[in-house]
Structure 1
């Protein structure tokens, strides 16, 4: 056990590894291939390989050719046997390389999982006297869900949990890679902390929310290593198709030998034919035919494609709880986006003082300043900044009164000064307050409030007991570039919906500026949940982001629920993805990664099935041409001999797996477009390419192997 010594908050820190670390070298770095080779050889164990039926049949075929060749040795037999074994090894290598990239990322995560000493507080309860609380030091791995620990500045947080007391600056660079510290505090949506991060200032009390071995980092390590990766429904369906094709071709191949026996009289006229001889070479040829007919290419790469999809999520600092979540992201039809922090920057800024009722702008600015002195929100600080530009930097320094904090009930805040009472807040609330005090509301106030709201701003009315002074306009700034991204979503067939608590007028103005398809104004948690269920009842998949406890039901209901790492534990438990960077706009990237996964799988499946056509033209004429001379017309590639044709097809069948590993790991390049456009591109590039490339490659291989003695 290692005890972490306290360090000063401003002490220099070494660079922590981040989960998005990429493995050095290219996608087919020889060092990476060499390191993955032992794992590929271990996967030859039939108890492991049977989970991939296509490659299991290939391994059985390689074993059979070995048995056939030993009693009847020949150059052709041994070459076919060697290349069939290489086909299985290359398939295992694709999966091993994908897993090794995950293990490299997991290694960087393990560096953050340090054994620390936890200061557990026994008897802690909110409001409990210090004399009732006993502190004890225990190893962090003995902490259980519900334990309460104290963490001072300079110490590592011993486990995942929620801050229940205090506020502190926390360094989360070991998890997110972001060097800037973040604020974690009790009683809000930014209370969640992660084990292995460091408190830089102050002291917090944390309630542990995970059992040992189930921490955030533990789950990340498990997922990026792929040790418990479950196949997604689409993978299972594709596997079922591949198994069905394999069975069909297996029966077709098995029936060839009886057909040959039936054609014995014809064979006598062609005694040198390969197709049916009593020697072991006939078995070798039949196995070669079977392996070339079954979809070995996609069967070899299918697992690597799924692992690489998870890997791309981790590289973007997104933790997907399952491959199913990544796959669902690619099929999303409706994208729900919270306005604040996603579509807008979140911090509304004061940009104008609009006086009413004959009030001077300087008087309105001074009143707004005084009523905002105790307002520590970003909006309050922006009002102070703007007001001091109008009335001077020292304004309000002499103020001494009773501060009235903002209340969700009154929807106002302000200050009671000697001889002067000021309030600032929602138009309806401040107007009612003025009338209750015997004052009147200027008729032009409603028009000003309406104009500010319709332009996408937020109006705050400032009043002095019996009269309204004017309006402070807060502007919610839309993030740049979002309209273009939403246009991309629209081209993908994805409908975007903005969710906000603003009134419908303000919501519409921001929705129009951002370019979303629809909006839900004055939304409550129940409204969000109802909208998701309505979309799903229409057969659509829904994705959304959230960070608060009130978002948990909607995150759980959504097909893709992305919780922010800064959010509450309830939100992170409810969602099936966690964004370590807490960037709500990243959901757009998540959807793109999901679509890239589906497109990659579809493209390689198309290529795999298409390139079988070329192998048919290589092997079938070679096998049956001497028996049925008319089939020689199908030897359109002009291959040297039946032996060279079969060997060339088998070699291509093995080599193409290695050639496609980079594409499986990197993914097919995704361009936002409609489903019909994507399908057409897929058929032209990977369908036609899957036919043309093997013809060319098999012919080139044949030009080389014809010089091998005995072929």
Structure 2
């Protein structure tokens, strides 16, 4: 999908945004943004006074018309900011809709195959998908193994392996089978597929305001109501004290006092935050999920495939006790003959290089003991009763002792040596005798140390979860630079780690792809599921990574931080702006009736009318000038919360005060002479 987004026509988005800016002037749309709705009401009041200048008191229709025009432009600019953000999402959605086709499905009923429209499929139906077929809807593979082209979803052309069972059995509607065939049980009803959800979320059709956004909106509405009451009360007070204040001037005062800048940009900031996550090939199920990323305190990460490459390869066969090198190699091969994992295959490859190769057919009558997270070992039960096992050191030691054997004295030192090197020791035994250790090497992904350091600087704790023994876990944790680790971790242990952190008031993020990860993904505040993973994992998470890169949770958290920082920075700038505008408008309002108020004209503005018009113009043009920041987000740099607050207060707080003084003065130098020529100065 990321490749689709690169082809978006920005000029078309801008043209559509200009049109939508006028459409959004409909009061029904404006009511969704209370601050700008007040501006629209003010514009309607000044528009009325333009045609009936003496309706409330004696006034100048030209002055009223100028105020009306500026307020109209202010509304258009605010609507334009939101329309641009929405336009980008709609353009991405249209691009994705092109990949959704009304395909035909081969519905299976027993051995009978019936061709029907994909839109007629129901949840629970079983379909056959052969080479070249488009997968008609989301589902789980129940039989078969095939290569699937997911470029319609991920934008990546390389097909991926999908097979029944395991963590890669989930398929997405709209993707294409490029080899072999699959039987798929449909897990989504038409219109509710993953692609449909992506489209509706990206185009913003179901975007809901996040809790922080709602809270900030309530604050802005409260400020608006306070200033509205104050300004409305000024009119009778002025009448009572015989001070003449034009109604259009009071409207201008209200518009400049209320936080129109952030009011006009708030929705755009939220939409743009979702857009940045989407362009990163991550689908957030809600804006709340993106926002929660910004508040994350703890990150739970799997070791294998996330912190390390995960392709642990056999590097050495280490005999123990009086076992010969030949025997440890031979029995390591026997234990791995029917182990089709990358680790198992690597044992056979290493043994082959050392001249040991066995025929699987000779052991076809042996009983295969599959690895499980509870037993933590695997192997073969040979026909003659011999039991060959490989697994974790403590598990094999218990197995040997239970069989009446003794653990060699040199086993533990050799296991610890391998663990200290960051490797994984797999101990091999035959019945009651320990034969030796297979040294599996795993490698920490490059660059992770720096990335974890970045997270530490912004106060995020990283915890590595692994099934390895504590010694191996400690070595990898130190090499990767994570803050803590949980060793010999079973699926339920991840939930315990998450709950422990949450009990301390922290927000937790984690990644996962398997069905056994689903409970932990649901428990975490931010759950990032891999698109290659199971349907259960994707449904439990509140984000899905289309590229299936577990380390992407780090970037997603930074995007969430950026969203919160952007909203806070522009809110600070908006409120600081208002402070400077007071010095321009308040003296101007009372100057004509109270000459001594001229002392407060610290900006040296040309005239009261010029001061008001200049402040209104600045209030309008600052919105489009800040749209690029709202869309891109404030640049994020890892630092402590205190330093970040000080930096933003300096740049956006102090800058928000200084910018209007300069901007209004410059505008006044242009506007003042023009108003004087019109006789309004």
TM range (shorter): over 0.9
Check whether the contact 2:2–2:281 (CA below 8 A) recurs between aligned residues.
no
Residue deviations 1:463-495, cap 9 Å, x none? Answer: 566754422101222111112111111111111
Residue deviations 1:91-125, cap 9 Å, x none? Answer: 111110000000111011111111110011124xx
Check whether the contact 1:20–1:317 (CA below 8 A) recurs between aligned residues.
no
Mean CA deviation greater in 166-175 or 530-539: 530-539
Q: Which residue of the partner structure matches residue 119 of structure 1?
A: 106
Residue deviations 1:542-598, cap 9 Å, x none? Answer: 111111222222211211111111111111111111111111111111111111000
Q: Which residue of the partner structure matches residue 73 of structure 2?
A: 86
| C-alpha distance 334-683 of structure 1, shift in aligned 2 (>3 A) | same
Q: Which residue of the partner structure matches residue 270 of structure 1?
A: none
Unaligned runs of 5+ in 1: 1-15, 124-132, 268-274, 277-281
Q: Which residue of the partner structure matches residue 4 of structure 1?
A: none
Q: Which residue of the partner structure matches residue 627 of structure 1?
A: 593
Check whether the contact 1:18–1:109 (CA below 8 A) recurs between aligned residues.
no
Q: Which residue of the partner structure matches residue 319 of structure 2?
A: 355
Q: 1:171 aligns with which of 129, 149, 156?
A: 149
State the 1:35 CA deviation. 2.1
| C-alpha distance 425-500 of structure 1, shift in aligned 2 (>3 A) | closer
State the 1:178 CA deviation. 1.8
Secondary structure class of the residue paired with 1:405 = strand
Q: 1:645 aligns with which of 601, 611, 617?
A: 611
- 1:504 & 1:251 partners in 2: Cα distance? 65
Residue deviations 1:31-64, cap 9 Å, x none? Answer: 5322211111111110111011000000011111
- 1:548 & 1:435 partners in 2: Cα distance? 34
Q: 1:249 aligns with which of 214, 217, 227?
A: 227
| C-alpha distance 428-489 of structure 1, shift in aligned 2 (>3 A) | closer
Residue 600 in 1 paired to residue 578 in 2?
A: no
Check whether the contact 1:19–1:176 (CA below 8 A) recurs between aligned residues.
no
- 2:2 & 2:527 partners in 1: Cα distance? 27
Secondary structure class of the residue paired with 1:214 = coil
Check whether the contact 1:456–1:475 (CA below 8 A) recurs between aligned residues.
yes
Mean CA deviation greater in 482-491 or 240-249: 482-491
Mean CA deviation greater in 366-375 or 301-310: 366-375
| C-alpha distance 193-104 of structure 1, shift in aligned 2 (>3 A) | same
- Map residues 267-666 of structure 1 onto 2, 5 A cutoff: 275-276=244-245, 282-361=246-325, 364-369=328-333, 371-391=335-355, 395-396=357-358, 400-402=362-364, 404-407=367-370, 408=372, 409=375, 411-414=377-380, 416=382, 423-427=389-393, 441-463=407-429, 468-666=434-632
Mean CA deviation greater in 431-440 or 234-243: 431-440
Check whether the contact 1:404–1:415 (CA below 8 A) recurs between aligned residues.
yes
Residue deviations 1:158-210, cap 9 Å, x none? Answer: 00011111111111111112222111111111111000001111111111111
Residue 160 in 1 paired to residue 123 in 2?
A: no
| C-alpha distance 506-621 of structure 1, shift in aligned 2 (>3 A) | same
| C-alpha distance 206-399 of structure 1, shift in aligned 2 (>3 A) | closer
Unaligned runs of 5+ in 2: 54-59
State the 1:429 CA deviation. 5.5
Check whether the contact 1:401–1:418 (CA below 8 A) recurs between aligned residues.
no
State the 1:86 CA deviation. 0.7
Mean CA deviation greater in 40-49 or 451-460: 451-460
- 1:411 & 1:534 partners in 2: Cα distance? 29
State the 1:629 CA deviation. 2.5
Mean CA deviation greater in 301-310 or 624-633: 624-633
Q: 1:200 aligns with which of 169, 172, 178?
A: 178
Q: 1:676 aligns with which of 627, 639, 642?
A: 642
Q: Which residue of the partner structure matches residue 39 of structure 1?
A: 20
Check whether the contact 1:644–1:705 (CA below 8 A) recurs between aligned residues.
yes
Secondary structure class of the residue paired with 2:362 = coil
Q: Which residue of the partner structure matches residue 57 of structure 2?
A: none
Q: Which residue of the partner structure matches residue 90 of structure 2?
A: 103
- 2:250 & 2:418 partners in 1: Cα distance? 79
- 1:503 & 1:595 partners in 2: Cα distance? 34
- Map residues 206-221 of structure 1 onto 2, 5 A cutoff: 206-221=184-199
Check whether the contact 1:122–1:134 (CA below 8 A) recurs between aligned residues.
yes
Check whether the contact 2:129–2:184 (CA below 8 A) recurs between aligned residues.
yes
Check whether the contact 1:20–1:316 (CA below 8 A) recurs between aligned residues.
no
| C-alpha distance 419-331 of structure 1, shift in aligned 2 (>3 A) | closer
Residue deviations 1:382-410, cap 9 Å, x none? Answer: 22332333338xx4469733355342358
| Alignment root-mean-square deviation, CA | 2.4
Check whether the contact 1:547–1:568 (CA below 8 A) recurs between aligned residues.
yes
- 2:502 & 2:207 partners in 1: Cα distance? 26
TM-score of the superposed pair, with normalisation by structure 2: 0.93
Residue 23 in 1 paired to residue 8 in 2?
A: yes
Secondary structure class of the residue paired with 1:391 = coil
- 2:612 & 2:264 partners in 1: Cα distance? 21
Secondary structure class of the residue paired with 2:300 = strand
State the 1:424 CA deviation. 3.8
Q: Which residue of the partner structure matches residue 272 of structure 1?
A: none
Check whether the contact 2:50–2:62 (CA below 8 A) recurs between aligned residues.
no
